[in-house]
Chain A
Amino acid sequence: MPTTTSAPVENATTATSAGASPRRQTWRDRLSRWDLKLSPYLYIAPFFLVFAIIGLYPMLYTGYLSFFSWPAYGSEVGPWVGWDNYAHVLGDSVFRKAFWNTMGIFLLSSVPQIIVATILAALLDTRLRGRTLWRMSILLPFVVAPAASAMIFGAIFADGTGLINQTLDGFGLSKVPWHADRFASWTAIATMVNWRWTGYNALIILAAMQAIPRDLYEAADIDGASKVKQFFHVTLPSIRPTMIFVIVTSTIGGLQIFTEPRIFDTNLRFQGGSDFQYTTLTMYVFNTAQTTTNPYPRAAAAAWVLFLIIVGIALINFLVTRAVQRRSLR
């Protein structure tokens, strides 16, 4: 290779072009410096502005409201009541029910979903024919809106004339009270969530699997490790960050579930079952805002409690997942 000494770069002439007065030059310099300094802030401003209006201010106002009383038809915020609204919410048996329902539905919808999604991803992480088509097809339920999927499964799980109960009946088995029984209603609602999100999460996990260096598998092959063994000792440890990501995001989403149980409810009061057997925390916030005594402050207190629950559980999730995965690495 002949080394060519590159010709000295022609100095960008710093001489001011004739005719431009030095004073105008500095003015333009200043403009350009402002442009350089201010533009970055200008570009991120829209996000922060919108967030201030629809996120930060309402959040703080929700916090403020939760310490006051405010009768349903009052135009003004009433007197300060301290922690009363929180005491009411935490002491409300419906709230406690909503808490356990949310936990139950969340577990039934996230645990099986993540396990199935991981298996699906492992199946897709092979040399399939028509890869893109397979990936697209597992995403099909994702384009059905939650409201629509709740309508579809509402018909499948309908008590009298639903597909499942009709089929059970046809075989001479007893029908399942999908709405009346607590656990059955949780299962029905969790099914809607699982149906929509499993393929989506499988693709996220698949992306992480694709990034694992293939020579790790080749080495395992040479060591005579079976495919199953490889999955537990090579695949799973390598996709840890993604697993944490998927688990935490499905936690944040799962604890806010609203659309599915609300549409699943065939009663026009939408309270989440005759005995609140499948009302969720978000439904509780929503419904509290429409009650007669202190609707807004109580809803605000409930919303803050929900927020703290979500943050707490997401954090626990994160730490547990990290610890479990750490141990499996040893």
Chain B
Amino acid sequence: MTRRPGFLVYGLLVAFLLGSAFPLYWSFVIGSVTRQRAIQAPPPLIPGGHFFDNAARVLDRIDFWSALLNSIIVSGISAVSVVLFSTLAGYSFAKLRFRGSQVGMIFVVATMAVPTQLALVPMLKQFSNLGLTGTLPAVILPWMVTAFGVFFMRQYLVDAIPDELIDAARVDGASMIRTFWTVAIPAARPAMAILALFTFMQVWTDFMWPLIVLQGSDVQTLQTALDALKVAPGQGHADMALVQAGTILATVPLLLLFIATGRHLVSGIMQGAVKG
């Protein structure tokens, strides 16, 4: 067996961690000092006691709570939808024999490489024709099911479900959907949790699509509301304390989610990669 790592390995890791945690820490520092102090030299490095004043100013300036609620709704519905449809499709590709399944899977993988920009203009037109711009369904629809989700579930289910189980259920006379329900879903559970988590984060952090489709409406997600904070009329970048307090407020929900589920996130990333 190899020896335990020495001081050098730990030292390098700690240095990297401090470096990557610092921007977040400093954002909190700026968000917790007064507006004047935020731009004075030397730059503050220790948190002040004004975070709640700044947070109150954020809530004053933008409709933070409704943006938060919108983000939760959009990310939550997308996560449920992606998990449901991806598990169905992934199971079908992994375990069921049907004509065209190989071609279909290649097609799914190929769509992962298509940049969203290609669809932007017509999608925006479609949605405005349907009168959906400025509504949450417009934000959710593109996230109903993702190629990545289908691919991820297929990779997982290929090994997770023994064929004998499916055959046994079939011999017992279970219909296809019943087999899916009693055999596939229990086996897929761990992967479903990871995919839900991933999708939730992906949709939560998405910026371009909500920016386009919600432009000029008072329905905003957390990310687009944050953008509005930056361009407060006549402010430019002057009110750094306000902007950073808003940034921290917008990051806290995901931080909490990360503290609760980070372990699964790590294993999800590592699983998705090994077979990729």
Chain A residues contacting B68 (CB-CB under 8 Å) are none
Chain B residues contacting A210 (CB-CB under 8 Å) are 270
Q: Mark B96-136, 1 if CB is under 8 A from A, else 0.
A: 11100100100010010111111111111110000000000
Which of B9, B91, B93, B269 has a CB less than 8 Å from the CB of A126? Answer: B9
Q: CB of B79 within 8 A of chain A?
A: no
Chain A residues contacting B1 (CB-CB under 8 Å) are 127
Which residue in chain A gives the minimum CB-CB distance to B250?
A148
Q: CB of B231 within 8 A of chain A?
A: yes
Within A124-173, which residues are at the interface with B (CB < 8 Å)? Answer: 124, 126-129, 132, 134-149, 151-156, 158, 160-161, 163, 166-167, 169-170
Q: CB of B175 within 8 A of chain A?
A: yes
B56 CB to nearest A CB, Å: 19
Which residue in chain A gives the minimum CB-CB distance to B71?
A145
Contact flag A170-B41 (CB < 8 Å), given A46-B144, A314-B113: yes
B227 CB to nearest A CB, Å: 6
Q: How far is A62 from B271 in the complex, measured between Cα atoms in Å? A: 36
Contact flag A155-B5 (CB < 8 Å), given A62-B118, A136-B262, A207-B270: no
Q: How far is A41 from B104 in the complex, measured between Cα atoms in Å? A: 10
Q: CB of A228 within 8 A of chain B?
A: no
Which of A12, A41, A282 has a CB less than 8 Å from the CB of B117? Answer: A282
Interface SS of A by simple majority: helix
Q: How far is A206 from B2 in the complex, measured between Cα atoms in Å? A: 17
Interface size on B, residues (CB 8 A): 99
Interface size on A, residues (CB 8 A): 100
Q: How far is A307 from B116 in the complex, measured between Cα atoms in Å? A: 9
Q: CB of A259 within 8 A of chain B?
A: yes
Chain A residues contacting B204 (CB-CB under 8 Å) are 145
The reply to whether A132 and B263 contact each other, CB–CB distance below 8 Å, is yes
Q: CB of A15 within 8 A of chain B?
A: no
Which of A36, A65, A245 has a CB less than 8 Å from the CB of B176? Answer: A36
Q: CB of B92 within 8 A of chain A?
A: yes
Which of A163, A221, A252 has a CB less than 8 Å from the CB of B113? Answer: A252
**Chain A positions near chain B (C-beta within 8 angstroms):** 12, 32, 35-37, 39-41, 43-44, 46-48, 50-51, 53-55, 57-59, 61-62, 65, 120, 123-124, 126-129, 132, 134-149, 151-156, 158, 160-161, 163, 166-167, 169-170, 195, 198-200, 203-208, 210-211, 217, 221, 242, 245, 252, 255-256, 258-259, 263, 266, 268, 282, 285-286, 289, 296, 299-300, 303-304, 306-307, 310-311, 314
The reply to whether B119 and A62 contact each other, CB–CB distance below 8 Å, is yes
Can you pick out 26 interface pairs between chain A and chain B where the beta carbons lie within 8 Å of each other? A44-B150, A46-B145, A50-B141, A51-B145, A58-B121, A59-B118, A61-B122, A62-B119, A120-B13, A136-B263, A137-B21, A138-B17, A139-B262, A140-B21, A147-B223, A147-B224, A152-B27, A153-B23, A154-B237, A155-B30, A160-B39, A161-B38, A161-B237, A163-B26, A170-B41, A259-B207
